[in-house]
Structure 1
Amino acid sequence: MSAPSRILVYGVYGAGKSTLAARLADRLGLPWHPVDDLLWQPGWVEVPVAEQRDRITRICRGERWIIDGAYHGWRDVPLARADLVVALDYPRWRSFGRLLRRTVSRLVTGEVICNGNRETLGSVLSRDSILLWHVGAFGRARRRMRAWQADPTGPPVLRFGSPAELDRWVAGLPRR
Protein backbone atom coordinates (compact mmCIF):
# COMPACT_ATOMS: atom_id res chain seq x y z
CA MET A 1 0.00 0.00 0.00
CA SER A 2 1.34 3.44 -0.88
CA ALA A 3 1.49 6.08 1.83
CA PRO A 4 -2.04 7.27 2.60
CA SER A 5 -2.88 10.95 2.24
CA ARG A 6 -6.27 11.02 4.05
CA ILE A 7 -6.15 9.30 7.44
CA LEU A 8 -8.77 8.91 10.13
CA VAL A 9 -7.26 7.96 13.49
CA TYR A 10 -9.91 6.35 15.68
CA GLY A 11 -10.11 4.91 19.17
CA VAL A 12 -11.68 5.42 22.56
CA TYR A 13 -10.77 8.38 24.79
CA GLY A 14 -7.21 7.97 26.07
CA ALA A 15 -6.04 5.54 23.40
CA GLY A 16 -3.57 8.05 21.99
CA LYS A 17 -5.35 9.34 18.88
CA SER A 18 -3.94 12.86 19.03
CA THR A 19 -0.43 11.67 19.84
CA LEU A 20 -0.53 9.29 16.88
CA ALA A 21 -2.02 11.92 14.57
CA ALA A 22 0.84 14.29 15.43
CA ARG A 23 3.40 11.52 14.77
CA LEU A 24 1.81 10.64 11.43
CA ALA A 25 1.60 14.30 10.40
CA ASP A 26 5.30 14.70 11.10
CA ARG A 27 6.32 11.46 9.43
CA LEU A 28 4.12 11.75 6.34
CA GLY A 29 4.05 15.53 5.96
CA LEU A 30 0.26 15.66 6.14
CA PRO A 31 -1.80 18.41 7.76
CA TRP A 32 -3.35 17.33 11.06
CA HIS A 33 -6.68 18.80 12.13
CA PRO A 34 -7.19 18.16 15.88
CA VAL A 35 -10.85 17.33 16.26
CA ASP A 36 -11.14 18.80 19.76
CA ASP A 37 -10.16 22.21 18.35
CA LEU A 38 -13.03 21.91 15.87
CA LEU A 39 -15.63 20.76 18.40
CA TRP A 40 -15.05 22.94 21.45
CA GLN A 41 -15.18 26.68 21.91
CA PRO A 42 -13.70 28.50 24.93
CA GLY A 43 -15.50 27.68 28.16
CA TRP A 44 -16.16 24.11 26.98
CA VAL A 45 -19.04 25.28 24.82
CA GLU A 46 -19.72 22.62 22.23
CA VAL A 47 -19.87 23.76 18.62
CA PRO A 48 -23.33 22.89 17.23
CA VAL A 49 -23.27 19.55 15.42
CA ALA A 50 -24.27 21.12 12.08
CA GLU A 51 -21.25 23.44 12.30
CA GLN A 52 -19.01 20.52 13.33
CA ARG A 53 -20.18 18.68 10.24
CA ASP A 54 -19.50 21.71 8.02
CA ARG A 55 -15.99 22.08 9.46
CA ILE A 56 -15.17 18.39 8.98
CA THR A 57 -16.66 18.39 5.47
CA ARG A 58 -14.44 21.30 4.44
CA ILE A 59 -11.36 19.47 5.70
CA CYS A 60 -12.33 16.14 4.15
CA ARG A 61 -12.87 17.72 0.72
CA GLY A 62 -9.11 18.20 0.65
CA GLU A 63 -6.69 15.64 -0.71
CA ARG A 64 -4.35 15.58 2.31
CA TRP A 65 -5.41 15.41 5.95
CA ILE A 66 -5.32 13.58 9.24
CA ILE A 67 -8.27 13.72 11.63
CA ASP A 68 -8.01 12.30 15.15
CA GLY A 69 -11.56 11.19 15.84
CA ALA A 70 -15.00 10.71 14.35
CA TYR A 71 -18.19 11.50 16.21
CA HIS A 72 -21.85 10.65 15.72
CA GLY A 73 -23.03 13.76 13.88
CA TRP A 74 -20.43 13.52 11.12
CA ARG A 75 -18.64 10.17 11.35
CA ASP A 76 -19.73 9.32 7.81
CA VAL A 77 -17.86 12.29 6.31
CA PRO A 78 -14.25 11.22 6.96
CA LEU A 79 -15.14 7.56 6.40
CA ALA A 80 -16.35 8.39 2.90
CA ARG A 81 -13.04 10.08 2.00
CA ALA A 82 -10.36 8.33 4.08
CA ASP A 83 -7.60 6.34 2.38
CA LEU A 84 -6.99 4.62 5.69
CA VAL A 85 -8.47 4.26 9.14
CA VAL A 86 -5.93 3.63 11.88
CA ALA A 87 -7.85 2.07 14.76
CA LEU A 88 -6.36 1.99 18.25
CA ASP A 89 -8.13 -1.01 19.73
CA TYR A 90 -6.19 -1.30 22.98
CA PRO A 91 -7.44 -3.13 26.07
CA ARG A 92 -9.65 -1.06 28.35
CA TRP A 93 -7.06 -1.01 31.13
CA ARG A 94 -4.46 0.55 28.82
CA SER A 95 -6.64 3.31 27.38
CA PHE A 96 -8.29 4.08 30.72
CA GLY A 97 -4.91 4.15 32.47
CA ARG A 98 -3.56 6.57 29.87
CA LEU A 99 -6.66 8.73 30.16
CA LEU A 100 -6.47 8.79 33.96
CA ARG A 101 -2.76 9.74 33.93
CA ARG A 102 -3.35 12.44 31.32
CA THR A 103 -6.35 13.85 33.19
CA VAL A 104 -4.50 13.98 36.52
CA SER A 105 -1.50 15.60 34.85
CA ARG A 106 -3.70 18.24 33.25
CA LEU A 107 -5.40 18.94 36.57
CA VAL A 108 -2.05 19.40 38.31
CA THR A 109 -0.39 21.50 35.59
CA GLY A 110 -3.43 23.45 34.43
CA GLU A 111 -2.46 22.58 30.85
CA VAL A 112 -4.45 24.42 28.23
CA ILE A 113 -6.11 21.95 25.90
CA CYS A 114 -8.32 23.04 23.02
CA ASN A 115 -9.22 26.67 22.42
CA GLY A 116 -8.06 27.79 25.86
CA ASN A 117 -10.00 25.15 27.78
CA ARG A 118 -8.66 23.33 30.82
CA GLU A 119 -9.80 20.28 32.68
CA THR A 120 -10.94 21.05 36.21
CA LEU A 121 -11.68 18.95 39.23
CA GLY A 122 -15.32 19.89 38.77
CA SER A 123 -15.36 18.63 35.18
CA VAL A 124 -13.60 15.41 36.11
CA LEU A 125 -16.09 14.72 38.91
CA SER A 126 -19.17 15.71 36.88
CA ARG A 127 -21.66 13.48 35.06
CA ASP A 128 -19.94 14.65 31.85
CA SER A 129 -16.52 13.50 33.04
CA ILE A 130 -14.25 12.22 30.29
CA LEU A 131 -13.48 9.26 32.59
CA LEU A 132 -17.17 8.30 32.64
CA TRP A 133 -17.41 8.86 28.89
CA HIS A 134 -14.58 6.36 28.45
CA VAL A 135 -16.41 3.73 30.48
CA GLY A 136 -19.60 4.18 28.46
CA ALA A 137 -17.96 4.52 25.05
CA PHE A 138 -15.35 1.77 25.18
CA GLY A 139 -17.52 -1.11 23.97
CA ARG A 140 -19.20 0.96 21.26
CA ALA A 141 -15.87 2.21 19.90
CA ARG A 142 -14.44 -1.30 19.87
CA ARG A 143 -17.47 -2.73 18.03
CA ARG A 144 -17.36 0.15 15.55
CA MET A 145 -13.66 -0.38 14.74
CA ARG A 146 -14.17 -4.08 14.20
CA ALA A 147 -17.24 -3.52 12.03
CA TRP A 148 -15.35 -1.01 9.89
CA GLN A 149 -12.52 -3.48 9.48
CA ALA A 150 -14.93 -6.19 8.35
CA ASP A 151 -16.74 -3.93 5.86
CA PRO A 152 -15.33 -4.43 2.34
CA THR A 153 -17.10 -1.30 1.08
CA GLY A 154 -15.33 1.06 3.47
CA PRO A 155 -11.77 2.33 3.62
CA PRO A 156 -9.04 -0.08 4.72
CA VAL A 157 -8.72 -0.33 8.50
CA LEU A 158 -5.49 -1.11 10.29
CA ARG A 159 -6.48 -2.11 13.81
CA PHE A 160 -3.75 -2.19 16.44
CA GLY A 161 -4.11 -4.02 19.75
CA SER A 162 -0.93 -2.69 21.34
CA PRO A 163 1.38 0.32 21.14
CA ALA A 164 4.24 -2.00 20.12
CA GLU A 165 2.30 -3.15 17.04
CA LEU A 166 1.54 0.45 16.18
CA ASP A 167 5.17 1.54 16.62
CA ARG A 168 6.38 -1.18 14.23
CA TRP A 169 3.90 -0.02 11.60
CA VAL A 170 4.81 3.66 11.99
CA ALA A 171 8.53 2.83 11.77
CA GLY A 172 7.89 1.22 8.37
CA LEU A 173 6.14 4.26 6.90
CA PRO A 174 8.03 6.38 4.38
CA ARG A 175 9.15 9.84 5.42
CA ARG A 176 7.95 12.73 3.29
Structure 2
Amino acid sequence: MGMKRILIIGCGGAGKSTLSRELSRTLNLPLVHLDYLFWKPGWVQSEKAEFKQILKSELKKDSWIIDGNYARTMSLRMRYADTVIFLDFNRWICTWRVLKRWLFNKGGEQAVGCPHKVDFDFLRYILKYPQKSRTEVLQLMKSNKDGCQWITLKSSAEVEEWLRNGLPQEGS
Protein backbone atom coordinates (compact mmCIF):
# COMPACT_ATOMS: atom_id res chain seq x y z
CA MET A 1 0.00 0.00 0.00
CA GLY A 2 1.31 3.45 -0.85
CA MET A 3 2.26 5.97 1.79
CA LYS A 4 1.34 9.42 0.51
CA ARG A 5 -0.97 10.67 3.30
CA ILE A 6 0.33 9.68 6.71
CA LEU A 7 -1.05 10.50 10.15
CA ILE A 8 1.29 10.15 13.12
CA ILE A 9 -0.52 9.99 16.44
CA GLY A 10 0.32 9.04 20.02
CA CYS A 11 0.83 10.36 23.50
CA GLY A 12 2.76 13.58 24.07
CA GLY A 13 6.43 12.67 24.37
CA ALA A 14 6.15 9.55 22.19
CA GLY A 15 8.18 11.14 19.40
CA LYS A 16 5.54 12.14 16.84
CA SER A 17 7.39 15.25 15.68
CA THR A 18 10.75 13.49 15.53
CA LEU A 19 9.33 10.61 13.48
CA SER A 20 7.35 12.94 11.22
CA ARG A 21 10.49 14.98 10.40
CA GLU A 22 12.43 11.79 9.65
CA LEU A 23 9.67 10.42 7.40
CA SER A 24 9.28 13.75 5.65
CA ARG A 25 12.98 13.69 4.74
CA THR A 26 13.01 9.99 3.85
CA LEU A 27 9.80 9.89 1.79
CA ASN A 28 10.05 13.47 0.49
CA LEU A 29 6.54 14.31 1.69
CA PRO A 30 5.40 17.71 3.01
CA LEU A 31 5.11 17.91 6.79
CA VAL A 32 2.22 19.50 8.67
CA HIS A 33 2.36 19.84 12.46
CA LEU A 34 -1.16 20.29 13.84
CA ASP A 35 0.23 22.48 16.61
CA TYR A 36 1.43 24.94 13.95
CA LEU A 37 -2.06 25.06 12.46
CA PHE A 38 -3.88 25.38 15.79
CA TRP A 39 -1.72 27.65 17.96
CA LYS A 40 -1.09 31.31 17.30
CA PRO A 41 1.82 33.18 18.92
CA GLY A 42 1.59 33.42 22.70
CA TRP A 43 -0.34 30.15 23.00
CA VAL A 44 -3.53 31.67 21.61
CA GLN A 45 -5.91 29.02 20.26
CA SER A 46 -7.38 29.26 16.78
CA GLU A 47 -11.15 29.34 16.54
CA LYS A 48 -12.48 25.82 15.97
CA ALA A 49 -14.04 26.70 12.60
CA GLU A 50 -10.86 28.45 11.44
CA PHE A 51 -8.70 25.48 12.46
CA LYS A 52 -11.00 23.01 10.72
CA GLN A 53 -10.99 25.08 7.51
CA ILE A 54 -7.18 25.29 7.46
CA LEU A 55 -6.94 21.57 8.21
CA LYS A 56 -9.37 20.66 5.41
CA SER A 57 -7.30 22.60 2.89
CA GLU A 58 -4.20 20.63 3.98
CA LEU A 59 -6.06 17.30 3.83
CA LYS A 60 -7.11 17.89 0.23
CA LYS A 61 -3.50 18.06 -0.93
CA ASP A 62 -2.07 15.05 -2.77
CA SER A 63 0.45 14.09 -0.11
CA TRP A 64 1.42 14.94 3.45
CA ILE A 65 2.55 13.77 6.84
CA ILE A 66 0.42 15.20 9.64
CA ASP A 67 1.54 14.82 13.23
CA GLY A 68 -0.59 15.47 16.26
CA ASN A 69 -3.61 14.12 18.05
CA TYR A 70 -6.42 16.69 18.22
CA ALA A 71 -9.09 14.06 18.88
CA ARG A 72 -11.98 16.14 17.58
CA THR A 73 -10.50 16.07 14.04
CA MET A 74 -9.11 12.53 14.11
CA SER A 75 -11.95 10.87 12.18
CA LEU A 76 -11.86 13.66 9.56
CA ARG A 77 -8.13 13.14 9.06
CA MET A 78 -8.55 9.37 8.83
CA ARG A 79 -10.94 9.76 5.91
CA TYR A 80 -8.07 11.24 3.88
CA ALA A 81 -5.15 9.16 5.23
CA ASP A 82 -3.77 6.04 3.61
CA THR A 83 -1.56 5.27 6.65
CA VAL A 84 -1.85 5.88 10.39
CA ILE A 85 1.24 5.41 12.53
CA PHE A 86 0.26 5.02 16.17
CA LEU A 87 3.11 5.51 18.64
CA ASP A 88 1.69 3.45 21.49
CA PHE A 89 4.41 4.15 24.05
CA ASN A 90 4.29 3.67 27.82
CA ARG A 91 3.03 6.84 29.52
CA TRP A 92 5.95 6.88 31.98
CA ILE A 93 8.45 6.89 29.10
CA CYS A 94 6.47 9.73 27.51
CA THR A 95 6.40 11.68 30.79
CA TRP A 96 10.16 11.28 31.20
CA ARG A 97 10.80 12.39 27.61
CA VAL A 98 8.63 15.51 27.99
CA LEU A 99 10.31 16.46 31.26
CA LYS A 100 13.76 15.80 29.79
CA ARG A 101 12.97 17.94 26.73
CA TRP A 102 11.72 20.75 28.97
CA LEU A 103 14.65 20.57 31.41
CA PHE A 104 17.55 20.07 29.01
CA ASN A 105 16.48 21.46 25.65
CA LYS A 106 15.75 25.02 26.58
CA GLY A 107 14.50 26.93 23.61
CA GLY A 108 12.61 25.62 20.65
CA GLU A 109 8.97 26.11 19.88
CA GLN A 110 5.88 23.94 19.91
CA ALA A 111 4.41 26.29 17.30
CA VAL A 112 5.38 29.72 15.95
CA GLY A 113 5.65 32.05 18.94
CA CYS A 114 4.83 29.24 21.40
CA PRO A 115 7.91 28.11 23.33
CA HIS A 116 7.96 24.53 24.59
CA LYS A 117 6.31 24.35 27.98
CA VAL A 118 5.30 21.76 30.52
CA ASP A 119 2.41 22.44 32.85
CA PHE A 120 0.17 20.43 35.11
CA ASP A 121 -2.56 20.04 32.48
CA PHE A 122 -0.11 18.61 29.94
CA LEU A 123 1.40 16.17 32.44
CA ARG A 124 -2.10 15.10 33.51
CA TYR A 125 -3.00 14.52 29.84
CA ILE A 126 0.02 12.25 29.42
CA LEU A 127 -0.70 10.32 32.60
CA LYS A 128 -4.38 9.85 31.68
CA TYR A 129 -3.62 9.06 28.03
CA PRO A 130 -3.99 5.25 28.39
CA GLN A 131 -7.46 5.48 29.95
CA LYS A 132 -8.93 8.11 27.65
CA SER A 133 -7.11 8.98 24.43
CA ARG A 134 -5.48 5.59 23.81
CA THR A 135 -8.86 3.89 24.25
CA GLU A 136 -10.38 6.28 21.69
CA VAL A 137 -7.55 5.56 19.24
CA LEU A 138 -8.04 1.81 19.61
CA GLN A 139 -11.77 2.25 18.91
CA LEU A 140 -10.98 4.29 15.80
CA MET A 141 -8.52 1.60 14.72
CA LYS A 142 -11.24 -1.07 14.97
CA SER A 143 -13.81 1.01 13.12
CA ASN A 144 -11.39 2.14 10.37
CA LYS A 145 -9.38 -1.02 9.82
CA ASP A 146 -10.48 -1.26 6.18
CA GLY A 147 -9.98 2.43 5.43
CA CYS A 148 -6.22 2.73 5.80
CA GLN A 149 -3.08 0.91 6.84
CA TRP A 150 -2.37 1.02 10.60
CA ILE A 151 1.15 0.71 11.95
CA THR A 152 1.49 0.47 15.73
CA LEU A 153 4.93 0.98 17.23
CA LYS A 154 5.41 0.50 20.97
CA SER A 155 8.99 1.64 21.62
CA SER A 156 11.89 3.61 20.21
CA ALA A 157 13.50 0.31 19.21
CA GLU A 158 10.40 -0.64 17.19
CA VAL A 159 10.42 2.78 15.50
CA GLU A 160 14.09 2.37 14.57
CA GLU A 161 13.50 -1.16 13.28
CA TRP A 162 10.51 -0.02 11.21
CA LEU A 163 12.50 2.89 9.74
CA ARG A 164 15.26 0.44 8.75
CA ASN A 165 13.07 -2.36 7.39
CA GLY A 166 9.41 -1.39 7.17
CA LEU A 167 9.30 1.59 4.84
CA PRO A 168 8.16 1.03 1.28
CA GLN A 169 10.97 1.11 -1.24
CA GLU A 170 11.01 3.77 -3.91
CA GLY A 171 8.63 2.93 -6.72
CA SER A 172 6.46 0.62 -4.59
Does TM, scored on the shorter chain, surpass 0.5? yes
TM-score calculated relative to the size of structure 1: 0.86
Partner of 2:153: 160
- Check conservation: 1:56, 1:77, Cα contact below 8 A: no
2:113 counterpart (101, 116, 119): 116
- Check conservation: 1:149, 1:159, Cα contact below 8 A: no
Amino acid at match of 1:148: L
Partner of 1:87: 86
Deviates more, 1:67-76 or 1:44-53: 67-76
Measured in 1, the distance between the counterparts of 2:147 and 2:102 equals 34
Partner of 1:55: 54
Amino acid at match of 2:9: Y
- Check conservation: 1:52, 1:74, Cα contact below 8 A: no
Q: How many residues align?
A: 168
CA deviations 1:35-79 (Å, max 9, x no partner) are 111111011001111111111111111110010013133222211
Pair 1:140 & 2:132 matched: yes
Partner of 2:163: 170
Amino acid at match of 1:29: N
Aligned-residue offset at 1:175 = 5.5
Aligned-residue offset at 1:112 = 3.4
Aligned-residue offset at 1:145 = 2.9
Amino acid at match of 2:158: E
Measured in 2, the distance between the counterparts of 1:155 and 1:96 equals 29
Question: Aligned-residue CA RMSD in angstroms?
Answer: 1.9
- Check conservation: 1:70, 1:78, Cα contact below 8 A: no
Measured in 1, the distance between the counterparts of 2:159 and 2:116 equals 28
TM-score calculated relative to the size of structure 2: 0.87
2:123 counterpart (120, 131, 135): 131
Gaps of 5+ in 2: none
Measured in 2, the distance between the counterparts of 1:157 and 1:89 equals 12
Amino acid at match of 2:95: F
Write 1 or 2 for the structure with the bigger share of strand. Answer: 2
Aligned-residue offset at 1:91 = 1.1
User: 1:93–1:82: structure 2 CA closer, same or farther, 3 Å change rule?
Assistant: same
User: 1:73–1:150: structure 2 CA closer, same or farther, 3 Å change rule?
Assistant: closer
